[in-house]
Structure 1
């Protein structure tokens, strides 16, 4: 994973500039999957649903890194035989939290946002949160390929 050298908020080569660039990287890894190249699974590649889920999770994590995490500081995508792992690091050590439950009385307060983290957790096989000693956090999500 690309990590910083203490400068946490500026763009560095290797870190996507935005969610669109991050999605493009994930799509390239998933669609470039070849048989016989170290973990090809059934050789059929990821399902279209798996690709869509991976792109949605990427969008949520990267957008939140920019919106709430002080900027994207690291990004990685790794393809395994049955899953893809997406890692997103940002400058904040504040962990994601679930939105409060909706109620008619609070509808105005909850009208925007708060649904991404539960969605990420629903789609993931596994979610890991790490707080490195140098600050910030890394969220690692493993998603199925079929």
Structure 2
């Protein structure tokens, strides 16, 4: 892809109603705008992008009081995601006891590992999470 920017911005009533809707929007953006020429790397990068999209949007609905804004854009070889919700609570990483299984709490550490950068910014109505993912 050239240095052009491609994006999908969604707000208000047009917000994704679910993580699946958000994944579809990101996948459409990736399909339209990004071609790396390396099918294997593209598949892994796309899977990571869709997984992080799903995690952030799911958390906005489950823990954040609902999704209040969503955007995705590609610049160069990177996907920029922005997910805002209505809660001021920061994402939590749970401590784990080795050998003991617990339900939940795996998504945020996974998103941290898969992204180039991940930040949380307080807003007047909650918080915004910005993720940058490499696409190649």
TM-score range, shorter chain: 0.7 to 0.9
CA RMSD across the alignment: 1.9
Question: Is the helix fraction higher in 1 or 2?
Answer: 2
Structure-2 separation of matches of 1:53 and 1:34 = 15
Aligned length: 126
Structure 1 unaligned segments of length 5 or more: list them: 4-11, 36-42
Q: Establish whether residue 69 from structure 1 lines up as the match of residue 64 from structure 2.
A: yes
Structure-2 separation of matches of 1:112 and 1:145 = 30
1:135 equivalent in structure 2: 125
**Of 106, 117, 123, the match for 2:108:** 117
Which has the greater radius of gyration?
1
1:97 equivalent in structure 2: 92
Distance change >3 Å, CA 34–CA 140, structure 1 → 2: closer
Structure 2 unaligned segments of length 5 or more: list them: 1-8
Aligned structure 1 segments of 4 or more residues deviating by more than 6 angstroms: none
C-alpha deviations, 1:24-75, integer Å up to 9, x for none?
000000011167xxxxxxx538711111000000111011111100011110
C-alpha deviations, 1:60-106, integer Å up to 9, x for none?
101111110001111000101010011100000111011112245xx
Q: TM-score, normalised by structure 1?
A: 0.79
Q: TM-score, normalised by structure 2?
A: 0.84
